[in-house]
Amino acid sequence: MKQLRGTPLKRFLRDWRRTHTYESEIIILLDSVTYPVNVGSIFRIADAVGVNEVVLCGATPVPPHPTITKVGRNKHQNVAWRYEEVASEVLDTLHQAGYQNVAIEITDQAEPYYEFSAPSRTCLVLGNEDHGVTRASLAHCDAAVFVPMYGKGRSLNVHISAAVILYHLAHTSSFNSTKSL
């Protein structure tokens, strides 16, 4: 088995992108995610998963920011993003546009992410590192999902949970593989 590097790797990734797509439209909303390292990592993940937009709200730091640029590998330049102060207003507008707003949060109605099927339009809501998704934002969410914890810890870092759930969303409903072409 041989590692692909350089041109063969580039070609592999390009061919893979051309032959694999998914139909879901995904937006990520950061509801006062305050650490620039998390915001940067989320931009890198957002680019990797191919999300449609990142909306930075409340106390979330915005580009240009040296840590966001470095950790995010400059991917805020490849992913559409905007800043909006009030998350609940954005969620209201998205809901009217047909999005299902889904919080990453353990609530009294939360379900494990792997049981959640991706709607055609999803806004995934990520909350503050300490306080989670605000009550005001939760009031505008249709569902809450969580990443199960099998050990001693009570939580994962927000960008890790987001990556696990985003890839699940991408690879469930409406995933098209045309490998045979």
Answer yes or no whether residue 151 interacts with a second copy by CB under 8 A: yes
The three-state secondary structure class of 113 is: helix
The least CB distance from residue 126 to a second copy, in Å, is 14
Could you give the CA distance from residue 75 to residue 2 in angstroms, rounded to a whole number?
Answer: 29
Place of tokens 């040296």: 66
Degrees to nearest 5, angle at CA 56 with 61 and 53: 135
On whether the CB atoms of residues 179 and 20 are closer than 8 A, the answer is yes
From candidates 10, 11, 70, 82, binder to a second copy by CB under 8 A:
10
Contact with a second copy (CB under 8 A): which of 154, 176, 178, 181?
154
Among 27, 57, 79, 158, interactor with a second copy by CB under 8 A = 79
Q: Which of 27, 55, 103, 104 binds a second copy (CB under 8 A)?
A: 103
Q: What's the token pair of residue 142?
A: 């249709």
Write each residue from 28 to 67 as x if it is in contact with a second copy (CB under 8 A), else as -, in one continuous string.
-------------x--xxxxxxx-----------------
Residues 6+ away with beta carbon under 8 Å from 118: 24, 26, 168, 169, 170, 172, 173, 174
* Interface with a second copy (CB under 8 A): 1-4, 9-10, 12-13, 16-17, 20, 41, 44-50, 73, 75, 78-79, 103, 105-110, 112, 114, 132-133, 135, 138-139, 141, 144, 147-154, 156-157, 159-160, 163-164, 167, 170-171
